[in-house]
Structure 1
């Protein structure tokens, strides 16, 4: 997921750091170049709902493989547009645009995946970190594009080389996904919520989300934040070149924006995993991001290289750090709706707002007849002044941050559900089983005489006693276990010391661990 997510972002922002030279190579305007970024947002709006259905209904494996193939096909077709012996003539941009559209189809499939991956494959104390790692491959792709594109394209004739090199990782990721992804879910569920899935059907989940006030507020505010970051990444070179800054400096600012964003996301992910302060963390970071956007608008003028670099770093540090935490927060406030659906709607919202914002920012630009400091290499049209646009983006970011801080409040529904599940197990009665001298086996009271599952706690027995009991216990037991005959150990799951709600020990041989005892095991039994 991380490799595909990183590659997707590189393909999306291939042209943004060298927009002027790309426009000159294809003999098109800067507005037309911007459509290579806008198409990602537009396609993600209708296909985003399809992607959420695929993730929550068909599964993570299908979504990952399909996105890898779409990325590969799109990147190869983009390369065809600049192969000289094909003699495409006026169709070169058409092929480029078609390839970009195919890559855009892959975006919602992979960008919605991190929360699903974290929920299915990681325990609760690692979910925010896992989400952070897979989500932050997204800005890593921005970093690579901002550094690699200007380095590869010193002149417009270098565009074919750039497209060819960008196709190689996409082909590699497609091969790895096709060959390497085998399982939809892990053989051993990592948490109680992963074992006992309570996700709602897709359309039922959609209705629940749209009626969930905290989720709707998060969807609007965080969607706006992603839309603003999308516009900033796509338009940064155009904003700076008119002020006399080179493509290299614009790429450097984009790289600083991303590197410090990765650092912020890593630190905040670790902090939230330990403290569970999702809401407080996102509110503080959102406010600081708004301040950074205002500062960027104020200093984006001539001869302000150091302040611009510093503010771009802070903008990324506080802004990107919200990303993985907000994804986990979306799942927490929308539980038991599926993870793909809850994150998918936020990204659909972000794409809609991103399209509106990008068109609005372009409309607010002013064409400059004389731009003595401009380094923009543009054949069609002229240099554009983005002063009003950057001030407008800063104002929008400030309004959204204030709205989020004032109105967003929610319970952590998934964490509470897991805690309730743990408490219900701890409160169940004990039953004395012959064959276990002085041992206790806890079972939920709702299991009747013919119940097929026992959830075990506090098991203490010798190796011989346990093996004898598993191979053939007495024909009856007391209470709710009276008619449970010959239970056989099916699957020991979650034998981890971080489960404080189950304690005891089991002979290691029964759990496939020949090296002694395993503490804190949750066991599944089947009546056979």
Structure 2
């Protein structure tokens, strides 16, 4: 396998002197592209949840309600619904580079706008600036969040796709981790909020500079795999139609989209849930950090595993089953006091089982929807996840009630502590329901791998002869029905007949590809 992939880095030969057929090739600059996309995604996630770990302090300093502070996180979910479909079109039509540069500038502009209320204390409505900045960053997220799957497909060879997708996808929770750690560490008192907002501008500015200066093209001159050569072979609207008609993809999108909404709500509301039961902001930040660290670790190990085995479906189903059981444990233990060790362990397991399957699911979405473009297949799941996240967050906050018993709250917003018991039980129930639906009803062939390996086509792909993808293989020239006697000397074909045979084979392959 390794020798074969190394051969892809060199032009392939057809077996005839002077008749070269370029083989798949991987370029070193693919890692630069991956670095830029990862940094941009990380910065965007930091801006998304920078307010959540210190929600009570922000509310107190700027005279905002907790509902307003929650909307600074919720706006990401709301904006992504109308702009998500446009982002899919931009990614597949304008190109990966254009979408990345546009997202980087929107992200940078939003980070600057958020800091305006800290420049002059006489600004009458700081919430408007906060919301405007967060909205720009939310639009940038729609362009960034679907990029890893497309980047992995266009720039990376088959044996590196899941790993590249894992790196790009996990940079988003890495940003959430940094926000959970940095915000409580930087904001010890209300006067520290301007410093926090200024620090978050730095990675956004760096990502904007690198995207503008270091990215030169959307696709490499030579595709790294046979699948990359057929990327985005369907038009935007026809691709969406195929996705909607694909039963396996619809089940995956709805179930994992709900998982995205659950994890988004969990990340945004974690501090408020824990402070109501006497846990400090620092401990909430620690739980959020463990949640992400173990998620990244699990994604790294799982990405390497599925790159070798291609067990996308099995890894997804097992991971989500373990996640559901852990969520039930969190819903129960988080309502008890003094359970710091247990909560830290549960949050670690949530990340290990839940976050780690995200890049695998994105690869699975591409596999079950091929030849629809990667931007559409991954982006539609993201849009559905954000829509479901809005509904889940609104439902969770609506179910909260004021505590009637003794209060041990450490929340600082000056309001009575809330009871999150019913909301958390609902969250655990939704996670379990979606997992059961996915496990019982989801099943799909890996269409992209079948197309690349020349395996039997799935029912939704056109019938064609198996495709030979080895760049050095000489097409067979034997006539059907004729066999040579055992031990007979084989006559070496002359160059003219060899060239003719290769031309006929190439013509047949091109017709099969066009179907």
Q: Which band: TM-score by shorter chain?
A: 0.7 to 0.9
Cα deviation for residue 169 of structure 1 reads 1.1
User: Residues 433-476 of structure 1: CA distance to partner in whole angstroms, max 9, x if unpaired?
Assistant: 7679x98897363656xx999xxxxxxxxxxxxxxxxxxxxxxx
Q: Residue in 1 aligned with 2:105?
A: 69
Structure 1: how far apart are the matches of 2:503 and 2:311? 32
User: Residues 5-36 of structure 1: CA distance to partner in whole angstroms, max 9, x if unpaired?
Assistant: 00010000001111111111111111111101
- Secondary structure (helix, strand or coil) at the match of 2:216 reads coil
Structure 2: how far apart are the matches of 1:22 and 1:360? 23
Pair 1:353 & 2:388 matched: yes
Cα deviation for residue 188 of structure 1 reads 2.7
Cα deviation for residue 424 of structure 1 reads 7.5
The answer to whether the 8 Å contact 1:47/1:108 transfers is yes
Structure 1: how far apart are the matches of 2:303 and 2:500? 37
Closer, same or farther: CA 423–11 of 1 in aligned 2, 3 Å: same
Cα deviation for residue 75 of structure 1 reads 0.4
Q: Residue in 1 aligned with 2:344?
A: 309
Structure 2: how far apart are the matches of 1:173 and 1:382? 41
Q: Residue in 2 aligned with 1:23?
A: 59
Pair 1:283 & 2:317 matched: yes
Closer, same or farther: CA 397–198 of 1 in aligned 2, 3 Å: closer
Closer, same or farther: CA 65–198 of 1 in aligned 2, 3 Å: closer
- Of 412, 424, 429 in structure 2, the residue corresponding to residue 377 of structure 1 is 412
Structure 1: how far apart are the matches of 2:218 and 2:502? 30
Structure 1: how far apart are the matches of 2:244 and 2:358? 21
- Of 156, 160, 165 in structure 2, the residue corresponding to residue 122 of structure 1 is 156
Q: Residue in 1 aligned with 2:476?
A: 429
User: Residues 357-391 of structure 1: CA distance to partner in whole angstroms, max 9, x if unpaired?
Assistant: 00000011111256531100013x42111111111
Cα deviation for residue 428 of structure 1 reads 3.6
Q: Residue in 2 aligned with 1:337?
A: 372
Cα deviation for residue 315 of structure 1 reads 0.5
Structure 2: how far apart are the matches of 1:250 and 1:319? 19
Structure 2: how far apart are the matches of 1:10 and 1:282? 26
Pair 1:39 & 2:98 matched: no
The answer to whether the 8 Å contact 2:230/2:371 transfers is no
Q: How does 1:417-496 map to 2 (within 5 A)?
A: 417-420=451-454, 422-423=467-468, 428-430=475-477, 443=502, 445=504, 447=506
- Secondary structure (helix, strand or coil) at the match of 1:429 reads coil
The CA RMSD measured in Å over matched residues stands at 2.3
- Of 352, 360, 364 in structure 1, the residue corresponding to residue 399 of structure 2 is 364
Closer, same or farther: CA 358–175 of 1 in aligned 2, 3 Å: same
Cα deviation for residue 168 of structure 1 reads 1.3
User: Residues 287-317 of structure 1: CA distance to partner in whole angstroms, max 9, x if unpaired?
Assistant: 0000000010111121110000000000000
- Secondary structure (helix, strand or coil) at the match of 1:81 reads helix
Larger Rg: 1
- Secondary structure (helix, strand or coil) at the match of 1:106 reads helix
The answer to whether the 8 Å contact 2:154/2:231 transfers is no
User: Residues 114-147 of structure 1: CA distance to partner in whole angstroms, max 9, x if unpaired?
Assistant: 0100000001111000000111001100110010
Closer, same or farther: CA 386–215 of 1 in aligned 2, 3 Å: same
- Secondary structure (helix, strand or coil) at the match of 1:186 reads coil
The runs of 5 or more residues in structure 1 that have no matched partner are: 454-528
The answer to whether the 8 Å contact 2:92/2:232 transfers is no
- Of 402, 417, 425 in structure 2, the residue corresponding to residue 391 of structure 1 is 425
Structure 1: how far apart are the matches of 2:272 and 2:259? 20
Structure 1: how far apart are the matches of 2:231 and 2:115? 43
Closer, same or farther: CA 93–179 of 1 in aligned 2, 3 Å: same
| Further displaced range: 425-434 or 61-70 | 425-434
User: Residues 302-341 of structure 1: CA distance to partner in whole angstroms, max 9, x if unpaired?
Assistant: 1110000000000000001110000000000000000000
Structure 2: how far apart are the matches of 1:439 and 1:274? 37
Closer, same or farther: CA 61–441 of 1 in aligned 2, 3 Å: farther
Q: Residue in 2 aligned with 1:135?
A: 169
Q: Residue in 2 aligned with 1:502?
A: none
| Further displaced range: 25-34 or 1-10 | 25-34
The answer to whether the 8 Å contact 1:131/1:328 transfers is yes
Pair 1:153 & 2:187 matched: yes
Structure 1: how far apart are the matches of 2:118 and 2:440? 51
The answer to whether the 8 Å contact 2:467/2:509 transfers is no
Q: How many residue pairs align between the two structures?
A: 449
Cα deviation for residue 96 of structure 1 reads 1.0
TM-score by length of 1: 0.81
Pair 1:171 & 2:205 matched: yes
Structure 2: how far apart are the matches of 1:216 and 1:419? 26
Greater relative CO, 1 or 2 (CA 8 Å, sep 6+): 2
The answer to whether the 8 Å contact 2:276/2:410 transfers is yes
Closer, same or farther: CA 192–378 of 1 in aligned 2, 3 Å: same
- Secondary structure (helix, strand or coil) at the match of 2:372 reads coil
- Of 280, 293, 296 in structure 2, the residue corresponding to residue 259 of structure 1 is 293
Closer, same or farther: CA 276–447 of 1 in aligned 2, 3 Å: closer
